[in-house]
Structure 1
Amino acid sequence: MSGLFHRLRATARLMVGMPDYDAYLRHMAAHHPDRVPMDRTTFFRDRQQARYGGKSGGRCC
């Protein structure tokens, strides 16, 4: 049951555009152990930048 809850929570967060920092840390540890992971604040800023871009003036649509 706990695993199902975590998957549902992760899915809900992705639906609203909130990436999973814990999954990022697991990925970094498993695939890039030689690199220092971003802190939580930097991670969320990076994900927002990737999603919405850095264009000033907002989106047109």
Structure 2
Amino acid sequence: MGSADSLRERWATLTRCVCDGARLMVGQGNYDTYVAHIRKTHPEQQPMTPTEFFRERQNARFGVGGRGGFRCC
């Protein structure tokens, strides 16, 4: 059997994956992943704030500004 630390690490990884999956299912990406991507691939750009990121993801999901997306009404 693995050590308690190994079990904790595996539990933390599983929890993170489940949470990330749930966010993606409802159209909300992971902000930390977004910031890491921007810093790595677009270092000259300033990342959006968490509030801006949330709003942009909501707008994309619901088709605000003619961007397609899911619309219930």
C-alpha displacement of 1:17: 2.4
Unaligned runs of 5+ in 2: 1-9, 66-70
TM-score (norm: length of structure 2) = 0.66
Task: Give the match for residue 34 of structure 1.
Answer: 44
Larger Rg: 2
Task: Give the match for residue 46 of structure 1.
Answer: 56
Aligned residues with identical type, % of pairs: 47
> Taking structure 1 as reference, are residues 60 and 14 closer, same or farther at Cα in structure 2, changes over 3 Å only?
closer
C-alpha displacement of 1:51: 1.2
Larger RCO (CA under 8 A, 6+ residues apart): 1
Amino acid of the structure 1 residue aligned with 2:22: A
> Taking structure 1 as reference, are residues 60 and 25 closer, same or farther at Cα in structure 2, changes over 3 Å only?
closer
Unaligned runs of 5+ in 1: none
Q: How many equivalent residue pairs?
A: 58
